[in-house]
Amino acid sequence: MIRKRLGSVSSIVSRRPGLEEITVDIEGRPERAINYEYITGPVEAGDQVLLNTTAVSINLGTGGYHFVMAVLNRNGSDPGLEGHIMKLRYTPLQVKVLSSEEREQPAVSGCQSKVSLDGMPVIICSLHSMLAPVSAALRSRAGDGPKIVYLMTDGGSLPIWFSHLVHQLKEKGLVDETITCGHAFGGDYEAVNIYSGLIWARANGAGAVIAAMGPGVVGTATMFGNTAIEQGEIVNAVNVLGGRAIAVPRISFADSRPRHFGISHHTLTALGKIALTGCTMVIPPLGEKKKSVVEKQLLESGILLKHQVVEMDPGPVENILGAYGLSITTMGRDVSKDPEFFATACSAGLYTAELLKSGSDQGTDRNIC
């Protein structure tokens, strides 16, 4: 069930495309909330709103926000005429989008049976926080030439607007375009699934794609009960379409949970069991003791038998992130507290940049049939 409460908008804290961060008064208490303009329209101080307070009530959710379900004192606007694909289907909040598959483009109509990614590199992440170091490292080494596309899956947040990080990366030129696939929505382009999202990215000249969920990975401390498992499925999708799959392992020696020590069990399951086709896993140099832990995990999980594991030194990660004014964390830890996590993500970005610079692929606007 949804825990619902009535509230009154006290103030607009901030606005960015698609999202308003607001304070609301609920039974005399000031609390934080998010309003998605695409779903409920804009709000103003004094508006009466219906709020979904479920996650905050049980201390779940990235950021601790309530979410506006409806603005009660004003009528909503009608959606535009374009598009007929529904996301969040058969729920009270289902939204209509113009999906890339519906667009009048030669690459979409008439040649779906013979599409190829032509070896385009796809960097596959298991956490949203990997997106910034991957894209910063990729851009720093590859330059402004290749178009970098973020393909957001529906493993975490469904509205892309919830990610302040994506807004930052687009402003800084580290991500050129976004595509939201599955039930995720709000990207520059929409796609029904990961396959058509990859196809659309390539059709529109992507030099490289970074595939990752939005904020808020789901985990249950069980082998298969997490959304990061999609990493293995995306490896398969990339290979089916003729791309170059580059997987970012989740490596940390700062996480107190044994299942996430060294290589996270999310990565070990996704790449050791779910990925049925090969990928390249890039890791940074590690000290002898840490390297021994990682090598043992790679061997015992079967990853070494299925995938190519390469080492690349990213150099000072702080310099890569600092060059773009990025100050980011993962699970509340910054670069100084979790250096291996960020170094691993940067290594994948640099490795991909080297592929592009070597002429493997540069991405141009063209029909990919």
pLDDT, tens digit, 9 for 90 and up, residues 126-144? 999 999 999 999 999 999 9
Sheet arrangement for strand 177-181: 189-191, 177-181, 147-153, 206-213, 121-124, 244-247, 280-283, 308-311
Please give the pLDDT value at position 361: 47
Number of domains composing the chain: 2
Neighbours of 313 (CB within 10 A): 10
* Same domain? 152 vs 249: yes
Give pTM, 2 decimals: 0.93
In a domain, 120, yes or no: yes
* Same domain? 181 vs 109: yes
* Same domain? 271 vs 154: yes
* Same domain? 136 vs 183: yes
* Same domain? 182 vs 257: yes
Backbone dihedral region for residue 320 (phi beyond 0: left; psi -120 to 50: alpha; all else: beta) = alpha
**What average pLDDT does the segment 204-228 reach?**
96
State which residues form the domain around 335.
102-357
Q: Write out pLDDT tens, residues 227-256.
A: 999 999 999 999 999 999 999 999 999 998
Please give the pLDDT value at position 115: 80
* Same domain? 36 vs 136: no
Q: What is the torsion angle, in degrees rounded to the nearest 10, for the CA atoms of residue 94, residue 171, residue 215 and residue 190?
A: 30
Q: Write out pLDDT tens, residues 310-358.
A: 999 999 999 999 999 999 999 889 899 999 999 999 999 999 999 999 8
In a domain, 187, yes or no: yes
Answer yes or no: are the C-beta atoms of 204 and 178 closer than 8 Å.
Answer: no
Please give the pLDDT value at position 82: 84
Look at residue 152 and tell me whether its pLDDT is greater than 80: yes
Backbone dihedral region for residue 90 (phi beyond 0: left; psi -120 to 50: alpha; all else: beta) = left
* Same domain? 314 vs 256: yes
Q: Which two tokens stand for residue 11?
A: 């103030």
Q: Write out pLDDT tens, residues 282-311.
A: 999 999 999 999 999 999 999 999 999 999
Answer yes or no: are the C-beta atoms of 122 and 234 closer than 8 Å.
Answer: yes
User: Which of 71, 90, 123 lies at the terminal end of a domain, its last residue?
Assistant: 71
In a domain, 281, yes or no: yes
